[in-house]
Amino acid sequence: MKNSNKIDKALLIVCLCFLLVFNASFIHAENISGGRSVIETLNDRWNKALNSGKPESVGELYDQGAILSPGNGEFLVGRVAIEDLFRGFIDNGVHDHSIEIIGTHQDGNTMYEISKWRAYGREENGKKPVFGGVFVNIFHIDENGKWKSHLHTWNLSDNTGEQ
């Protein structure tokens, strides 16, 4: 009987350890999975940051060495340069930015999206400029365990105008 109790206790301990290890790895996997819903959250943060008029808040969503190409054949490297670009957009009246996801993909600690974007300019003479296009954004998990934009590029559609 004593050996049976020892075996039962050992089996119970092994099962509990397995459950703890399995649960911990499941929680970690859950934090880095669910690509589309994670990207929806990141896009919501991005829209709120730009629409709040705070370029520093936009910059915080990019990693330190991020690369951004604003569709003009040029590219910017680093959070400060990216923040400066969005400061210029905000100072010139760009607002009400929105994103419509077309598709997403995740592979481990890297995700990407292709989406449509839209924003409005400052109203002048009763007309409000409308801007829009398509963009690609590649995210990765940084050293602090946060999703950050690593490579972001977009175009400006010819179908923009005034409202």
* Residue 148 backbone zone (phi > 0: left; psi -120 to 50: alpha; other: beta): beta
In the CATH scheme, what is the code of domain 35-162? 3.10.450.50
> What pTM value is reported for the model?
0.76
Q: How far apart are CA 19 and CA 30, in angstroms?
A: 16
| Cβ proximity of 62 and 82 under 8 Å | yes
**Model pLDDT, residue 162:** 59
From first to last of the 163 residues of the chain, give the pLDDT tens digit.
555 555 545 444 443 333 333 333 333 333 445 789 999 999 999 999 999 999 999 999 999 999 999 989 999 999 999 999 999 999 999 999 999 999 999 999 999 999 999 999 999 899 999 999 999 999 999 999 999 999 999 999 876 665 5
Distances (CA, A) of 20 to 28, 145, 146, 152: 12, 21, 24, 38
**Model pLDDT, residue 4:** 52
Q: Domain map of the chain by residue range?
A: 1-32, 35-162
Of 60, 34, 36, the residue nearest 46 (C-alpha): 60
Main-chain dihedrals φ then ψ at residue 107, nearest 5 degrees: -135, 95
Contacts of 88 (CB under 8 A, 6+ apart): none
